[in-house]
Structure 1
Amino acid sequence: MNVIPQALRKGSALGEDYVRGQHAHELYEYDLQSDQSLQHRAEWLDTAHRPRVDRNALVKVLTSYNATYNDDPAVRESLEKLKDEQSLVVVGGQQSGLFTGSLLVVYKAATIVHAARMASQKLGREVVPVFWIAGEDHDWDEADHTYVLTSELEVRRLRMESWHDGKSSVSQVAVPKKKWEEAITELELVLADSEFKTEILELLRGELAQASNLSEGFARLVGRLFGRYGLVLVDSADPALRAIERPMFKQLIERSDEFEQAYLTAAARIEELGYEQQAQAVEGAANLFYIHEGQRMLLYKQDGKFMDRRGTVIFAKEELLDLLERCPERFSNNVLTRPLMQDYLFPVLQAVLGLGEIAYWAGTKDGFKVAGMQMPILLPRMSFTLLDPVTKKHMQQYGLTFEDVMERFESRKEAWLAEQDKLGMDGMFEQVKAEFERLYAPLIGRLGELQSGLSSLGEKNQAKIVDQISFLQTKTKQTIARQNEAELRRWDRMYKTLFPLDRPQERVYTVFYTLNRYGLDWIDTLMSVEPDLTGGHRIIEV
């Protein structure tokens, strides 16, 4: 297996600048480039005054959850380590997705495991890997689908059709067994036949038949793939977790105005430095959700009250605090307060994030300070493109680099197709059009001398004739393309393998598409790749 460093367009200017060490101190707590950051963060986590949940209560919740969805001996060992007050955590997460969603979820899990092991070695103390499932999110449209590449070179979207209002937390939406079977059957139909297909489908049917919602299915699959590496799972929507989060929610409610100002201050700082906000800080926002009759409603503040936009629920602060005490499961974080809750629950040494996530975390620095906490070290997840032998062979055949496919694929394909015009037809058509226009120009001029209206008529006539020549030119190109259809399919396969839907491969295809090609052991192959925690992108030749 060959692993090659490779630049890749990523789309988050602020995230990329953070990785390069720019504006680290203005917008973040720690500098990723500093060798001292790891030790300094560990020392701060050891301070007695920092807000934290009761460690035993946390481990009890995690033990119960993982015993149900991720019961591996290595996970039980990680939970034993977490009982020790000296142990720390590397955490990262993702919203649950159908069949785990895209490959980046797998790469994030791998990064968490590697980072925890490496930090443990550097600090000489236990560091536990934790995967945070954002089950409290209610954006079903982001979680209900994934993609595979079919043998017909179609980037096929597999989707679990919605049957609810779309406003409930993903972990609260019941998925009937029939829905799971429909999704697996569709996957079975579009996956290419392989020696691993039967085993993969058996795994999916065995695990997902026991899952009552999308988050449970996600947890079971991630557990099967990474449980043996000691990766502990937590669902942010777990009611048992809510019960121990009360103190942090209470602070977010009681000091809501302070947190609001902190987020607005951070937002202004981000914009002053020339960046766009990734997570909008809004005046009057409480930065909390309240779950009313199964619907997750974002709360705002108005006239001393907490309410949703439509006024469906309206609470005085005292009423909201009373509800928190009696029904903590009705409360949920938003994108700006979730990092604080995560840090309250866990002794977070490093948070593993995508570059877009790193950008929106810049808006939380002041919020951490209000809560009496510090933003942890932000670690970019590992990023890969898988290059199979067939795609590599075709790239070599046509003299293409990865940059060619990424940046100038269409122009390179058009240039190659033009080379297949062995008779030089395209050049002849261009010559004919030029010669015709040259011969016709004096005629149009004379027509104008004869009568001004004839000149305009002559120009229209000329355009029609040129259009007819161009029409035949296009038909000729189409004929040449049909004669080279097999090779053009190779070009199509190259692009859709590496950049499906014009996006990086890791953001589109499900890991089960990959496992169908290379087997379940491919996860071990991935974990054998030397970790790179600097935010770079690499090509893995598989």
Structure 2
Amino acid sequence: MTAECFPISHVPGTSALFRAFCEGATNDAARQSLAEWYPAKPFTNDWAMQSPTLPAEHRGALADALKIQATKFAAGEAALANIEKLREGAATVVTGQQVGLFGGPLLTLLKASTAIRKAKDATEASGREHVPVFWLASEDHDLAEVDQAAFLTKTEVETISLDLKAERPVPVGGLPIDAEGTLDARLDYACDLFAWGPFADTLREAYAAGETLASAFGKLLTKVFAPFGLIVMDAAGREFHALGAKALRGAIENAAELEAALLTRTSELESQGFHAQVLVAAGHSLLFLLDAETGARQALKRSGDEWKAGAKTYSTADLLAILAAEPERISPNALLRPVFQDTILPTAAYVGGPAEVAYFAQSAVVFEQLLGRITPVLPRLSATLIEPTIAKVMEQHEVDVRGVWDAKTVDALALKFGARALPIEAKRKLAAVGNAMDAELTALTEYAEGLNAELAKAAGVSASKMRYQMNRLRRMAASFELQKEASLRKHAAAIMLHLLPDGHLQERVLAGAWFLAKDEGSLLDTLVEYAGLECPGHRVLFL
């Protein structure tokens, strides 16, 4: 196993805020500029020294609820032991993800691996037990986003879906996975794509008739990370919402103050050239309400003491009464969720991706008002996994991941290969002519500048045209070589398919199940190991 670390500035699609966050690892000035939003030092273990505690009664109720759930997820001894550590006073390192089909994209594995490693490091650094928890975002209602998993064929990304349907926006975690009768056929197809290895049995055990999107996801993740003791938690039920009711009540009773603070924070972010990850508008709250009759998840909007969810109107007292009697009906949005989560759990740190790190810049004001502290957010391991066959082709063409990112398309990457494949004599002649021409044009332009401004301008324009034509000649020569060597385009297509599928980072598109199915037993150990070796950017792991 070998690995490379690429700076965050090289990684495509990253936001200015996340780049600044990661640059704080090596640049004190960059970190200080964000200290109001991210007070902890995410690239050290300092955050582990101030892990919060919870009352014994709360810890007991939490452990009891987690143990019941762990039994349903068929948890092993290590996870059950970690629940008992939590009962006895351990802190948690938390991460989470939507309950995507067949375990979701690769980033699910990267998040869990990072939480496991950070919990271990925190225990060693502080002397207090820290255990890893994976929070299932089962209350979200974006069905299209979770009802899919992407695998690779030889030539394309193949997306598999169960074609689940919901008449109204409802929490997706509770939807049965075989409601449309497509489960067996989709499982067969998925297993065909990764050649029916041992992982196929694991996938079938988790995704069985009678399971929901949340329970199947929970069973799969629990099984996969069983040796590491990962606690998988679905907080959608009444017992967990009751434990987190303080955060929900605070969001109801302090809605106006929270709205004002969030609007101010949005202005602060935008004034410094950053973006607000979540749109905050006047009258919008941090809460959803599940309709008692239909189960629909509807955003709560506020005007003074009046609240609306769909066509129904509620008073603040009404919402507080619902919270007291049926706490599971009130659900937090993306900005309140981490505060709700950290009301339930003794969270030492949260492990998130770029979007979640951006959430925390806004959520900081909610943490301060409702919890009186800001939970540190740590970046998850970001990685591209390269199989040996792809690594060999990349080596053959002398291209690294950055070269693939820069190329962006198969055509552009193939053209690079064509240019490299030119005969040495042709390369020399093109280089010699190009260098000589560039030097003469530079000298001529400088001379013209000393004679007359108009002449200098004309010389500059003419020089640009000639340089363009020279570069065009280089591209034509590369294209000619590319046409002679059909294998070059084939190699470019294979590399792009694996490393930048559909134009996006591999970790955001390809299913983690795809990599687990090909694993010979060391993948998760490798991910956990490299999650502890700080890379404030992107890891490239050669399998």
Q: CA deviation at 1:385?
A: 1.1
Q: Name 2:135's counterpart in structure 1.
A: 132
CA distance in structure 2 between the aligned counterparts of 1:125 and 1:134, rounded to whole angstroms: 28
CA contact under 8 A between 1:53 and 1:345: conserved in structure 2? no
Q: Name 1:68's counterpart in structure 2.
A: 72
TM-score by length of 1: 0.82
Q: CA deviation at 1:341?
A: 0.4
CA distance in structure 1 between the aligned counterparts of 2:417 and 2:285, rounded to whole angstroms: 57
CA distance in structure 2 between the aligned counterparts of 1:377 and 1:494, rounded to whole angstroms: 37
Q: CA deviation at 1:530?
A: 6.4
What's the C-alpha RMSD, in Å, of the aligned pairs?
2.7
Question: Kindly tell me: are residues 480 and 14 of structure 1, through their superposed partners in 2, closer, same or farther at Cα, counting changes over 3 Å?
Answer: closer
Q: Name 1:114's counterpart in structure 2.
A: 117
What pairs with 1:496-507 in structure 2 (closer than 5 Å)? 496-507=497-508
CA contact under 8 A between 1:90 and 1:115: conserved in structure 2? yes
CA distance in structure 1 between the aligned counterparts of 2:204 and 2:413, rounded to whole angstroms: 43
Q: CA deviation at 1:265?
A: 2.2
Q: Secondary structure at the match of 1:251?
A: helix
CA distance in structure 2 between the aligned counterparts of 1:524 and 1:34, rounded to whole angstroms: 22
Does 2:396 align with 1:371? no
Q: Which moved more, 1:231-240 or 1:314-323?
A: 231-240
Which residue of 2, 6, 14 corresponds with 1:11? 14
Tell me the alpha carbon deviations over residues 154-211 of structure 1, each in whole angstroms, 9 at most, x when there is no partner: 11111221322351111122222733223212213433x3xxx242222211221165
What pairs with 1:215-364 in structure 2 (closer than 5 Å)? 215-292=214-291, 293-308=294-309, 311-364=310-363
Tell me the alpha carbon deviations over residues 339-361 of structure 1, each in whole angstroms, 9 at most, x when there is no partner: 11011111111110112211121
CA distance in structure 2 between the aligned counterparts of 1:397 and 1:350, rounded to whole angstroms: 42
Q: CA deviation at 1:253?
A: 1.2
- What residue identity is the alignment partner of 1:174? P
Tell me the alpha carbon deviations over residues 26-55 of structure 1, each in whole angstroms, 9 at most, x when there is no partner: 22232335664432x33xx2598xxx9811
Unmatched 5+ stretches in structure 2: 25-30, 427-475
CA distance in structure 2 between the aligned counterparts of 1:84 and 1:278, rounded to whole angstroms: 37
CA contact under 8 A between 1:5 and 1:536: conserved in structure 2? yes
CA contact under 8 A between 2:45 and 2:125: conserved in structure 1? no
CA distance in structure 1 between the aligned counterparts of 2:150 and 2:413, rounded to whole angstroms: 27
The percent identity for this pair of structures is 26
What pairs with 1:379-528 in structure 2 (closer than 5 Å)? 379-408=378-407, 410-417=411-418, 484-528=485-529
Q: Secondary structure at the match of 1:373?
A: coil
Question: Kindly tell me: are residues 234 and 35 of structure 1, through their superposed partners in 2, closer, same or farther at Cα, counting changes over 3 Å?
Answer: closer
Q: Which moved more, 1:219-228 or 1:3-12?
A: 3-12
Q: CA deviation at 1:413?
A: 1.8
TM-score by length of 2: 0.82
CA distance in structure 1 between the aligned counterparts of 2:145 and 2:63, rounded to whole angstroms: 30
Question: Kindly tell me: are residues 115 and 420 of structure 1, through their superposed partners in 2, closer, same or farther at Cα, counting changes over 3 Å?
Answer: closer
Which residue of 19, 22, 38 corresponds with 1:28? 38
Q: Secondary structure at the match of 2:286?
A: strand
Question: Kindly tell me: are residues 527 and 47 of structure 1, through their superposed partners in 2, closer, same or farther at Cα, counting changes over 3 Å?
Answer: closer
Q: Name 1:180's counterpart in structure 2.
A: 183
- What residue identity is the alignment partner of 1:6? F
Question: Kindly tell me: are residues 159 and 482 of structure 1, through their superposed partners in 2, closer, same or farther at Cα, counting changes over 3 Å?
Answer: farther
Tell me the alpha carbon deviations over residues 451-475 of structure 1, each in whole angstroms, 9 at most, x when there is no partner: xxxxxxxxxxxxxxxxxxxxxxx9x
Give aligned pairs, total.
480
CA distance in structure 2 between the aligned counterparts of 1:478 and 1:3, rounded to whole angstroms: 33
Tell me the alpha carbon deviations over residues 471-494 of structure 1, each in whole angstroms, 9 at most, x when there is no partner: xxx9x9999867633332111001
Question: Kindly tell me: are residues 19 and 371 of structure 1, through their superposed partners in 2, closer, same or farther at Cα, counting changes over 3 Å?
Answer: same
CA contact under 8 A between 1:498 and 1:504: conserved in structure 2? yes
Does 2:49 align with 1:84? no
Question: Kindly tell me: are residues 412 and 377 of structure 1, through their superposed partners in 2, closer, same or farther at Cα, counting changes over 3 Å?
Answer: same
CA distance in structure 1 between the aligned counterparts of 2:133 and 2:254, rounded to whole angstroms: 29
- What residue identity is the alignment partner of 1:307? K
CA distance in structure 2 between the aligned counterparts of 1:170 and 1:33, rounded to whole angstroms: 34
Q: Name 1:161's counterpart in structure 2.
A: 163
Higher alpha-carbon Rg: 1
